Amino acid sequence: MRVLLVGGGGREHALAWKLAREDKVGSIVCAPGNPAMPGHSIPVDVGNPTAILDLAKRESIDFTIVGPELPLANGVADRFAEAGKPLFGPVAAAARLESSKAFAKEFMARHGIPTAEFRVCHTKQDALDACETLGFPVVVKADGLAAGKGVTVATERPAAAAAVHEALVSDRFGAAGHTLVIEECLVGPEISLFVLCDSRRGLALPAAQDHKRVFDDDDGPNTGGMGAFAPSPLWSDELSVLCMDTIVQPVLDGLRAEGTEYRGLLYVGLMLTADGPRVIEFNVRFGDPEAQVVIPMIETDLAPVLLSAASGDLDGAAWQVTREPHVGVVVASGGYPSAHTTGFPIDGLDAVASMPDVTVFHAGTARRDGVVVTNGGRVLTVVARGATFRSAIDRAYGAVRCLSFSAMHFRTDIGQKALTPESA
């Protein structure tokens, strides 16, 4: 089949890397792609569903896979359904689980899905009152899409007031921040769970753990993710059954009851609290950088299963995955997630490409005059596999230290949480 892969980040590179190894995928078109992605890259406005559909028609695409959330929120799946062309990703009404945190929280409340206590606020005073009612620490979230940067964990009133002010008064996030969700701050380790859905059932991938803060020891501001590892040592068959029964299935059933089918990848961000798993957030696509460590663990062909989910029939589908640990370290531009300078040549890519059990997924890169340069905040994800987490960590950081560019930044503790006696 001829596949169109929408997006150009590390998540999409991981998907393209996997698909390029599968017999049933004849060719791949990446839109807009990046310098390291296999197949043919074509520029496209990923926020424009009509442009994506026109591209799919022009390129005689058999199956389209959407990586980022923006085209899904803007209704690309709806446009493709109207045109009778298969696409992996939920329709806009279902994508509200990510595009509107207020919708997601109210949906969970309606269907008894375990999550943090919350308030939805439209004014500064309402938000400040909600912070006082819920008590500190408190989590302040922009309602809409904010590229992973619209969340503040405020331990005290001044931090909460500043977060509310920058969203509702300073307009830092634009329309995405004109409504705020104020939540109680849950305590416990976080888990990222990917579930393929055909609207009636879900098929889970290995659970991963992400590292959101920019600095070591989970310090500094939140980012889109500074690294990840899988499988999570905290996960178990019993916990998987519990989450599928009390979270994933109620989501699918609840959406159908409200007139919407969910076909695509449901990302469930979980907090394992003392009272059991609670939903932190939903995403409606593969997470980044978790996708970069989970997708290489899949040993069966991915494209046919994605197509089965998009067609509404996962009966008989099953994963075969390796249990070998995978660790991914994000290499970022200095200053990220705040202002940062790009355009610096990246040295060492050829050396790392020759290393066994190491794969580099590009995100914020570009090719200029034949040279790969930095072109974003998160530049690369260096992924390594190993017989143990210790060996995977050592292999990943050995590769990272072969790379260099001006003001390069990375955390030095990715994967350390996995070093339990059982997993080390």
pLDDT digits (tens, 9 = 90+) for 199-217: 999 999 999 999 999 999 9
pTM score > 0.85 for this model? yes
The CATH number assigned to the domain holding 216 equals: 3.30.470.20
Same-domain check for residues 347 and 248 = no
Same-domain check for residues 229 and 335 = no
Same-domain check for residues 275 and 194 = yes
Domain end: 261, 284, 310, which one?
310
Domain end: 134, 163, 184, which one?
184
Residue 108 lies in a domain: no
355: helix, coil or strand?
coil
The answer to whether residues 403 and 331 touch, using CB atoms and an 8 Å cutoff, is yes
**Is residue 14's pLDDT more than 60?**
yes
Q: Which domain holds residue 52?
A: 2-89
Same-domain check for residues 217 and 294 = yes
Same-domain check for residues 278 and 253 = yes
Residue 9 lies in a domain: yes
Same-domain check for residues 147 and 164 = yes
The CATH number assigned to the domain holding 154 equals: 3.30.1490.20
Show the CA angle centred on residue 291, arms to residues 285 and 295, nearest 5°: 115
Same-domain check for residues 159 and 48 = no
- Beta strands 263-273 and 63-66 are unpaired
Show the CA angle centred on residue 89, arms to residues 88 and 93, nearest 5°: 150
Taking only the tens place, the pLDDT of each residue in 98-151 is 999 999 999 999 999 999 999 999 999 999 999 999 999 999 999 988 766 788
337 cis-preceded (ω within 30 degrees of 0): yes
Same-domain check for residues 151 and 134 = yes
**Is residue 399's pLDDT more than 50?**
yes
Place of tokens 């590179």: 13
Same-domain check for residues 144 and 170 = yes
CA distances for 323 relative to 4, 292, 296, 387, angstroms: 29, 15, 11, 9
Domain end: 282, 310, 338, which one?
310
180: helix, coil or strand?
strand
Say if residue 423 is exposed, middle or buried (CB neighbours under 10 Å; 0-12, 13-18, 19+). middle
pLDDT of residue 117: 95
Residue 131: partners with Cβ closer than 8 Å, 6 or more residues away: 138, 140, 154, 157, 160, 161, 164, 182
Number of structural domains the chain divides into: 4
The CATH number assigned to the domain holding 82 equals: 3.40.50.20
Residue 317 lies in a domain: no
Taking only the tens place, the pLDDT of each residue in 341-371 is 999 999 999 999 999 999 999 999 999 999 9
The answer to whether residues 346 and 333 touch, using CB atoms and an 8 Å cutoff, is no
Averaged pLDDT score across all residues of the chain: 95
Residue 367 lies in a domain: yes
Q: In percent, how much of the chain has pLDDT > 90? A: 92
